């Protein structure tokens, strides 16, 4: 069958660009998900994390430098009275030194002060992903009003600032909750990993300081959507694969939610989780359950970065809800922290490329920094003059949203060439990784770390701008196609905003439906 004129024209245009460039407490739409792949299952022996944040707000890339803080420094944490479970902000002590890290930031979750983060990776290769994980309604109901403590974004950020290993990240979360409490919209998990292992940490509503953590090993694959933990031993103190708050088992017994004499295993989901979700491995939310996503990922073993990008961009789980995409490789053989590598898609990766960034990058192009598009309060305030030059630039998030909306308007016909172009662009970047990283390491070995930083910054920044130019070419080609071939369909209703349904790239509700 002859390919449509649009497809061949679009591929030629992209090729030219590349050549020249060389729930009760929240909505499912604001949820986030995460992948973990153990080192025995990856192509290069690294531990790999992937996933996305699912927030309405715009997202932008930040590289936060290491910092020293005075002895009396504090940080503000918690939620405000506007949160679904109202709270009060509190001040807690800051540590003397915080580590360098990279993250995607965003602004809007009601009652959770911006900027917010789902996590990222720090200079010790400790990576964090945040994922919703609802608690049972009784815990939500018993949460103090106002609630006080650290919320999910506070914990993710502090782990990046302070943790040298994944296990230490778990311990930091536990200690902070014990000292200052946990503020929540109903429950949360954090997936924390380093080059050796991963941990799932589930923090619960209720104001009781309840949390539990499960270790993930070198041959594990785990997908969280929602986050959760299943059966655990009751003798937690003597099991190196689990950590928990001191009251974790006792409180369940006290409430009558678990009977040690029953002989039944302690299933965290069944005891403390949302009772309407009986199987968090197959909750019936997206077309691919976490269990199916895990199976698809394991089937790719040995998993490469390109493989995990394919999983993260799967249209059965990625749509307009997805604020960005992320893939991180945590490499035990890495010789310098400046070469810690992160792949970020500036918005939902179903129609946006993963761009490479290193922790040694010194600044992010304005086109990938914060803009007003979908940023909290932009519709009710004017632009701060301090931001006028940055706001005047193109914004990658908005450009690739356009690509998504066009491609998803006719996914059977328009999504395949878009996916092919994104994958080809990423493959070109991957082909450059060896010489870029070897050159940077050579410069560092010669004592010229500044030159290594300049190289990494130049390559990552220019490549990201090339991706943006490609995105604009794609959007214009898709624009022409939708004008000339199928025509355009004007909206029938009067409401432009919604939580359900949202835009997706599923043909007839399922990408596997035959032609």
What is the distance between the alpha carbons of residues 408 and 7, in angstroms, rounded to a whole number? Answer: 15
Tell me the percentage of the chain whose pLDDT exceeds 90: 85
**Residue whose C-alpha is closest to residue 269's, from 224, 310, 238:** 224
- Which of 8-17, 149-158, 372-381, 490-499 has the least mean pLDDT? 8-17
Within 13 Å, how many C-alpha atoms sit on residue 373's CB side?
Answer: 22
- pLDDT digits 0-9 by tens, 107-128: 988 999 999 999 999 999 999 9
Examine the pLDDT at 278 and tell me if it is beyond 50: yes
What is the distance between the alpha carbons of residues 203 and 135, in angstroms, rounded to a whole number? Answer: 9
What is the distance between the alpha carbons of residues 210 and 302, in angstroms, rounded to a whole number? Answer: 37
User: In 134-180, which residue ranges form alpha helices assigned H by DSSP?
Assistant: 137-142, 152-162, 166-180
Q: What angle do CA 170, 71, 182 make, to 5 degrees?
A: 35
Stretch 13-22: mean pLDDT: 43
Entry pTM? 0.93
Say what the pLDDT of residue 17 is: 42
Cα dihedral 121, 125, 126, 129 in deg (nearest 10): 40
- Which of 253-267, 352-366, 464-478, 501-515 has the least mean pLDDT? 501-515
Examine the pLDDT at 20 and tell me if it is beyond 70: no
Say what the pLDDT of residue 103 is: 97
Provide the token pair at 357.
């960034």
- pLDDT digits 0-9 by tens, 457-503: 999 999 999 999 999 999 999 999 999 987 788 899 999 998 888 89
- pLDDT digits 0-9 by tens, 253-263: 999 999 999 99
Stretch 427-441: mean pLDDT: 98
Question: Average pLDDT, whole number, for the chain?
Answer: 92
Examine the pLDDT at 284 and tell me if it is beyond 50: yes
Examine the pLDDT at 336 and tell me if it is beyond 70: yes
Is residue 280 within 8 A of residue 23, CB to CB? The reply is no
Examine the pLDDT at 412 and tell me if it is beyond 70: yes
What is the distance between the alpha carbons of residues 130 and 245, in angstroms, rounded to a whole number? Answer: 19
């Amino acid at each position: 069958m002859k390919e449509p004129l649009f497809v061949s024209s679009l591929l030629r245009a992209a090729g030219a660009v590349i050549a020249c460039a060389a729930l009760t407490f929240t909505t499912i739409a604001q949820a986030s998900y995460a992948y973990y792949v153990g080192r025995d299952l990856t192509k290069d022996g690294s531990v790999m994390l992937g996933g996305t944040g699912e927030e309405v707000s715009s997202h932008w890339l930040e590289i936060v430098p290491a910092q020293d803080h005075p002895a009396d420094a504090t940080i503000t944490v918690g939620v405000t009275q506007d949160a679904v479970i109202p709270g009060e902000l509190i001040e807690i002590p800051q540590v003397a030194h915080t580590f360098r890290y990279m993250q995607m930031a965003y602004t809007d979750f009601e009652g959770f002060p911006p900027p917010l983060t789902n996590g990222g990776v720090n200079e010790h290769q400790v990576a964090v992903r945040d994922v919703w994980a609802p608690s049972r309604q009784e815990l939500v109901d018993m949460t103090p009003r106002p609630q006080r403590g650290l919320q999910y974004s506070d914990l993710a950020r502090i782990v990046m600032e302070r943790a040298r290993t994944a296990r230490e990240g778990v311990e930091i979360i536990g200690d902070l909750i014990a000292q200052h409490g946990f503020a929540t919209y109903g429950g949360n998990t954090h997936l924390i990993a380093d080059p050796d292992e991963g941990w799932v940490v589930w923090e619960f509503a209720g104001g009781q300081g309840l949390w539990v953590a499960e270790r993930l090993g070198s041959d594990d694959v785990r997908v969280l959507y929602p986050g959760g933990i299943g059966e655990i031993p009751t003798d937690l103190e003597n099991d190196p694969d689990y950590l928990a708050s001191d009251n974790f088992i006792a409180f369940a017994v006290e409430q009558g939610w678990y009977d040690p004499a029953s002989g039944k295993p302690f299933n965290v989901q069944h005891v403390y989780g949302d009772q309407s979700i009986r199987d968090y491995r197959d909750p019936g939310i997206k077309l691919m359950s976490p269990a199916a996503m895990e199976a698809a990922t394991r089937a790719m073993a040995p998993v490469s970065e390109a493989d995990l990008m394919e999983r993260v961009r799967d249209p059965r789980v990625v749509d307009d809800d997805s604020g960005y995409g992320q893939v991180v490789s945590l490499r035990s053989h890495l010789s310098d922290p400046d070469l810690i590598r992160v792949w970020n898609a500036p918005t939902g990766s179903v129609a946006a490329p993963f761009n490479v960034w290193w922790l040694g990058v010194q600044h992010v192009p304005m086109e990938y920094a914060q803009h007003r598009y979908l940023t909290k309060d932009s519709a009710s305030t004017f632009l701060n003059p301090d931001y006028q030059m940055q706001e005047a630039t193109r914004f990658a998030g908005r450009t690739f949203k356009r690509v998504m909306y066009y491609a998803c308007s006719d996914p059977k016909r328009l999504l395949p060439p878009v996916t092919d172009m994104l994958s080809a662009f990423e493959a070109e970047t991957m082909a450059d990784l060896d010489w870029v990283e070897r050159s940077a390491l050579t410069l560092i070995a010669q004592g010229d770390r500044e030159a290594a930083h300049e190289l990494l910054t130049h390559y990552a920044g220019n490549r990201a701008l090339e991706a943006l130019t490609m995105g604009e070419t794609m959007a214009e080609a898709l624009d022409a196609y939708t004008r000339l071939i199928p025509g355009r369909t004007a909206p029938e209703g009067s409401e432009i905003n919604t939580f359900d349904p949202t835009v997706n790239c599923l043909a007839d509700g399922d990408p596997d439906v035959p032609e």
